[in-house]
Structure formats: C-alpha cells, structure tokens
Amino acid sequence: MMNIKDYCNLIETALINSLPQGEYREKTLIDSMEYSLMCGGKRIRPLLTLMFCELCGEDVKKALPYACAVEMIHTYSLIHDDMPCMDDDDYRRGKLSNHKVFGEDIATLSGDALQSLAFEIMLSEKACLSVSPDRAVKAAHTLAKYSGALGMVGGQVIDIESEGKNAPLEVLKEMDEKKTAALIKAACEMGCIVGKADDEQIIAASKYAHSIGLAFQIMDDILDVTSTSEQLGKPVGSDSENSKSTYVSLLGIDKCKELVDSLTKDAIDALSVFSGDTKPLIELALDLAQRKN
Amino acid sequence: MMNIKDYCNLIETALINSLPQGEYREKTLIDSMEYSLMCGGKRIRPLLTLMFCELCGEDVKKALPYACAVEMIHTYSLIHDDMPCMDDDDYRRGKLSNHKVFGEDIATLSGDALQSLAFEIMLSEKACLSVSPDRAVKAAHTLAKYSGALGMVGGQVIDIESEGKNAPLEVLKEMDEKKTAALIKAACEMGCIVGKADDEQIIAASKYAHSIGLAFQIMDDILDVTSTSEQLGKPVGSDSENSKSTYVSLLGIDKCKELVDSLTKDAIDALSVFSGDTKPLIELALDLAQRKN
C-alpha cells in the first residue's frame, strides 16, 4: 500500500508525461499548458481517483490517465476563471496567472486544449488496454457529465449570476455542489469504475465526494473570517466586502463548524460499503476538515 | 439513400435535443450554448460524418452523436475565436457574436461546456449501445486528438503567432492542416469508425478530408480577392490589409486555382477504396471547389 507522497509522485510524473513531447510549432501553447498544470497544487482530485482505485483492489497505475484527466479539467477551469472577463486574478498560488504570462489569447486556448487532452488520455489505446473499453467509456462519460453545463461549468455560471445578490442557502449549496463537489465526485467515481466497483460502491464514493466537497467549501468560508491572510495566502474577509453570501453569513460560524463535522462524519460513514482499507480516505476527510489554509 | 436536406434535418433535430432539456438555474448558459449551436451554419462537418457512415453501409442514425459532437467542437472554437482577446469579431454569420449577446464570461463558459457536451454525448450509454464501446472510444479519441494542442487549437496558435509576419507557405499549410483540416478529418474518420470501416478506408477518408480542407482554405483566399463583399457576406481584401500571408499572396491566383483543382481530384481519387455509392461525397468536394461564398 502506497502513502500519499508515493501517489503524488506518480501523479506528477504522469501529468508531465501526458503533455505533448518533442519539438512543435505550437511550443508556446504547450508551455502555457505545462505552466498551469505543473504548478504544485495539492492534487486532491487525482489523489482521490487513485485512492478509490486502490480501495477497490486494483493496480493504481491503471487509474493514472483518469487521475490526470480530472486534474487537467480542474486546471483548465482555473486558467479560464482567472481571466479578466471572469474573476480577473493576476495571481494563482503565489505565481502569476496564466494569462499574465502568456496573454489572454494563449490562456483561452491552453485551457481549451487541456480539456481536449483530458479526454484524449482517458480514451487512448494504452488506457483502454488496461481498463477495458466499456469502463473507459463509463469513466470518461462521468468526467464529461460532471464537468459540463449541469456540473462544474454550471456551478461557475450560478456563481457569476449570484454576485452581489446575497443568494439564499439553497442557491449557495447548488452552486458549490456543482462548482466544487461535481469534479470531486467525478474523481472518486472514476477511481471506482477503474477498480471494477459495483453500483452500490460507486454511489457510496459519490456520497463521500459530495460530503467532503461541501465541507471543503464551508471550511473556506470559515477560514475567510477566522484565519490571518498569512495563513491563508490570500486576503481575508474578501467575501463579505463583495456582499457575497457565504455559509458563515447565512448560518453563523458555530453552525458552520457543526456542519463541517457532520458532513465529515457522513463522508466517513459512506465508506462502510467497502471491504478494503478505508483509513487513507478517512484521514483525508479529517485533514480537509481540520485544515488551516 | 437520403439527400443532403434529410441529413441536415436529422442533424438540426439531434443538435437541439442534445442540449440540456428542462428548467435549470443555469438557463443563461444553456441559452448561450443554443444561440451559437443553432445558428444555421452549413453543417459540413456533421454532414461528412453521416455521409461516410452511410458510405460504409451503416445506419446514419448511429453516427448522429458523433456528428453533433464535431459540430459542438467547431461551435465552441468559433465562440472563443470571436472573443475580444482573440479575433474580436462582433458578428458571426450576420448575427451578433456570442459574447456580444451574453457577455464574455458566459461566452467563455458556454464554449467550455460545449466541449464537455461533445464528449458526453459520444460516450453516453445510448450512443454506446448502438455503436459498441470500443468503436465509441476510438471515435471519441479521434475527435479529442484532432481538437487539441496538436490539432485545431494548435492551428489557432500558429495562426496567432504568424500574424503580421508574412509566414512562408509551409507554416501557412501546417496552420490550415491543423486549424481547418484536422476537424474535417475527425468528422470523416468518425463516420468510418461508426460504419465499421477497415484501416485502409479510414486512411482514405482522412486523405479526402485533408484535401477538401486545404482546398477550402485556398478557396477562401481566392474569394477574398475575387469576390464582392456582398457575395462573401464580409469585407473583401481584409487579409492583404493585415499583411497576412495567403495562398494567393504567396503563389498567385492562377496557381491557387490549379491547386484547388488538383486537391479536389485527390479527394475524389481517395474515395476509390469504398465499394458504396461515393457520388454524394464527390459532389460535396466539387461544390466546395466551386463555391462563391
């Protein structure tokens, strides 16, 4: 059984190797894709894909194309999200955002190409040889569904349209279920699909993902008011300044902490249908609920 | 055997039905996707998918998800291409471009969601029931490959980087092979894959696509200097004003017309490996070479 660091090394190597290798006229584009893809994020989504695959008793290497794909989708969404016509952020994880380095045209296109690459690697002959075409189809379909108009992108639209409107709790919840939890669901479900899980296990993985995804967002809101900007690596209190609804503004901080605890418990309970070692996934859920940044 | 009009009706119906149906909070996004997808284009790419499927003797309805998918990829690329950070076009086919109607943020996201939807419909349970998972994987992989960093998006980057540089013929050719021909190749190859074609036939379809794709671009350059802006529906002579290399500026108009003829002949010759009725595809190649707009 591998530890988190081994998993992360596998992911970093697979990500860099999945970019086009060699000399191409579109070098700037590939550099731009690499700049954002190899940026040192926490890799939570691809980790979840590998961890669920291992939990199901399969070789995690089979899940690598799917782990890389979900990270590529996440990365493209961050590149587009930082653009001036969206959130207009000059920095991402302490580094200049993609369009500040490569220009808005290349940033748009490298986001687009990362989405294509996600599907290309999941459906490659190599991936399908180890996973079987019907499971490759099911995994890639899962990622497409959760990424699109009624998934991650839909959540971004709900976010844009809620700005300055003090959105009610149900809108905030739907937004986060789509904007954040959907891609985490895709990551967990794909790990199970590659791991030959049955439907009950896939539903359980989806429940785990849903719960840690929402807990993650609520923690974000809590940290925005309780943390220092040094701990957080970004300005604190930015949400209330923008008259943006948050879980804290709608429910108060104590109720929010209770919610994080109960969602984390839900996530852990959902894992009971698996007979393998669920300890790493339990720890991950607890870590996310106790994080300081 | 169906005629072009029957094919087009099938495509229009399948496209509108492939958008999310029902009431959703992300209505603006879905409206924006529909606005550009149902814009009355010529539908050349999806037509080619259906025509190659029929040529291989399969029911064209099986190819519909793949035909719709290639049109969705084409549409998303036009939405992003019209944005201020790219070509900055306010109009597309005589209508306001997507970002002029919905804003740049929604236009970015509806392009992104159209790309996800393309893969979602190709990999849906319904599509795979009629096509078999291994052919669904092969078709979707083909579209991903030709859409991405070394395909359509790569061609757009080469285009951006060649601006104002009087690019030589080899760069112009590589740009068009990727920017235009790659997606036409995807359309034709996917029709063959769904139609259970053998490798020789897939290669022939790819050759046909490559030839009509390049002929199409050369015709564009010819029309830019010989047509009236009324016939063309856009200003003429715009290329030479931007000191942009064109086939006409590099080779002269007579040589360009010869090239279109010889590429059209190559396209028609490539069809000889098929035993079915190639007449519709021959006519399409001839029509493209003789078009006035």
Least trusted range by pLDDT, from B207-221, B236-250, B259-273:
B236-250
Closest partner residue to B115 (CB to CB) among A112, A125, A141 is A112
Q: What is the pLDDT of residue B116?
A: 98
Interval B96-122: pLDDT, tens: 999 999 999 999 999 999 999 999 999
Instruction: Determine the pLDDT at residue B224.
Output: 87
Residues of A in contact with B103 (CB under 8 A): 85
Chain B residue with CA closest to A79: the answer is B108
Q: Give the separation between CA B238 and CA B215, rounded to whole angstroms.
A: 20
Chain A contact set for B108 (CB, 8 A): 80, 83, 85-86, 108
Q: Has residue A254 got a pLDDT over 90?
A: yes
pLDDT at A145 (0 to 100): 98
Query: Nearest by CB to A157, which of B20, B26, B104?
Result: B26
Predicted local distance difference test score (pLDDT) of residue A65: 98
Partner residue opposite B133 with nearest CB, options A137, A148, A160 = A137
Residue in chain A closest to B136 (alpha carbons) equals A137
Q: What is the mean pLDDT of chain A?
A: 94
Nearest to A29 among B111, B141, B154 (CB): B154
A125 pLDDT above the threshold of 80: yes
Instruction: Tell me the whole-structure pTM to 2 decimals.
Output: 0.96
- Domains of chain B, start order: 4-290 (1.10.600.10)
Does residue B86 belong to the interface with chain A, where contact is any CB pair within 8 Å? Answer: yes
Beta-carbon pairs below 8 A across chains A and B: 171
pLDDT (mean) for B13-19: 97
Q: Is B151's pLDDT higher than 70? A: yes
CB pair distance less than 8 Å for A150 and B20:
yes
Nearest to A149 among B29, B140, B149 (CB): B29
Task: Grade residue B241 by pLDDT with cuts at 50, 70 and 90.
Answer: low
B279-290 vs B199-226: helix crossing angle, rounded to 10: 20
pLDDT band of residue A224 (cuts 50, 70, 90) is confident
Q: Would you call A119 and B141 a contact, using CB atoms and an 8 Å cutoff?
A: yes
Per the CB < 8 A criterion, the answer to whether A98 and A79 are in contact is yes
Q: Which of residues 98-157 of B touch A (CB under 8 A)?
A: 103-106, 108-113, 115-117, 119-120, 123-125, 128, 133-134, 136-138, 140-141, 144-145, 147-151, 153-154, 156-157
Range A19-38 average pLDDT: 96
Per-residue confidence (pLDDT) for residue B2, from 0 to 100: 75
Q: What is the pLDDT of residue A118?
A: 98
Of A76, A148, A157, the CB nearest to B28: A157
CA distance A64 to A50: 7
- Answer whether residue B192 shows pLDDT above 70: yes
User: Between B113, B124, B147, which is nearest A153 by CB?
Assistant: B113
The listed range with the strongest mean pLDDT (A20-24, A66-70, B38-42) is: A66-70
Distance from CA of B216 to the nearest CA of A (A): 23
**Angle CA(B246)–CA(B249)–CA(B251) in degrees, nearest 5?**
100
Interface test with B, best of A29, A79, A174 (most B CBs within 10 A): A29
Residue by residue, DSSP assigns chain A as ---HHHHHHHHHHHHHHHSPPS--TTHHHHHHHHHHHTS----HHHHHHHHHHHHTTS-GGGGHHHHHHHHHHHHHHHHHHHSTTTT--SEETTEE-HHHHH-HHHHHHHHHHHHHHHHHHHTSHHHHHHH-HHHHHHHHHHHHHHHSTTTHHHHHHHHHHHTTS---HHHHHHHHIIIIIHHHHHHHHHHHHHTT--HHHHHHHHHHHHHHHHHHHHHHHHHHHHS-HHHHTS-SSHHHHTT---HHHHH-HHHHHHHHHHHHHHHHHHGGG--S--HHHHHHHHHHHH---
Instruction: State how far residue B107 is from chain A, nearest Cα, in angstroms.
Output: 10
What's the ipTM? 0.95
A34 in contact with chain B, both atoms CB, cutoff 8 A: no
Residue A80 is predicted with a pLDDT of 98
Mean pLDDT, range B225-234, rounded to an integer? 70
Among candidates A30, A53, A35, which has minimal Cα distance to A10? A53
- Subunit contact B157:A108, Cβ cutoff 8 A: no
pLDDT in tens, A128-172: 889 999 999 999 999 999 999 999 999 999 999 998 888 999 999
Beta carbons of A86 and B77 less than 8 Å apart: no
Q: How far is A85 from chain B (nearest CA, A)?
A: 5
Residue A237 has pLDDT above 70, yes or no: no
Cα Rg of chain B, angstroms: 19
pLDDT, position B22: 87
For B257, the token pair is 């017309």
